[in-house]
Structure 1
Amino acid sequence: MNEIEKTVLALEEHMLAADAAYDPEFFRVTCADDFLTVSTAGVASKEQVVEMYAQGGPAGRRNEINDPRILIVNEESAVLTYRLVSTAGDTTVTIFSTSVYRREADGWRMVFLQQTPSMPST
């Protein structure tokens, strides 16, 4: 794994820890000003995400990255996609997640996050 891949994966692991802890500081610092996220809840900006995490949530959630794949677009941007397993209490969900990171003058920033819940098996 090269340095860009290590950096992007480490940032994503920090993001998932901040998500589980409902810690808005990661999102305030690490998301780019033009950050957008897309999920079943709709489209949200950086400000909306920071506000959501600042409101808090239930404790005890765990997030796990599975099967990560990283596409280095160039020396300034990378795409990370993986299967996220998120557990809260007795409930476990699988989500397909994609994050886009951009290198800025002061470090790497998350610019986009898209999450799609896995369809139940039939």
Structure 2
Amino acid sequence: MTATTDKKDSAMSIDPQKPALNWINGKWVDSKKHTNSINPATGEVIGIYADGGREEAVQATNAAVQAFRKLDWKDNRALRARVLNQIADRFEARREDLIGILSLENGKVYAEAAFEVDIISCKFRYWASVVLQLHSKK
């Protein structure tokens, strides 16, 4: 399952013949280890993913620290809220695909998978609203 970006809308597409990659520092990053994603109902391989380890975790952590220190992220609540809402938009745009993948990988019935996928965008939107609230420094 390679995640690729479409130039028109940057939508992720899935190719089950290639590994899904990790998104680190604005780029798709492969891993030394790849793991099969298995449909538990049939035992069929439904995709492959880059099974990141310590190296990828360090890269992602370092990228996050640098972004926090060098960008306007920590001081710009509107930016954080906008990004969180954009993430929610992306989940909603891929709702059916995500439900299908979750059902296959976990053997969930459609309704349960739909609930889990739908709650993701709700949580991102909730945190987007929280970030806009004024907080005291007490």
So what's the TM-score if we normalise by structure 2? Answer: 0.26
Q: Greater CA radius of gyration, 1 or 2?
A: 2
Considering fraction of residues, name the structure with more strand. 1
Specify which structure has the bigger relative contact order, considering alpha-carbon pairs within 8 angstroms and separated by 6 or more residues: 1
Considering fraction of residues, name the structure with more helix. 2
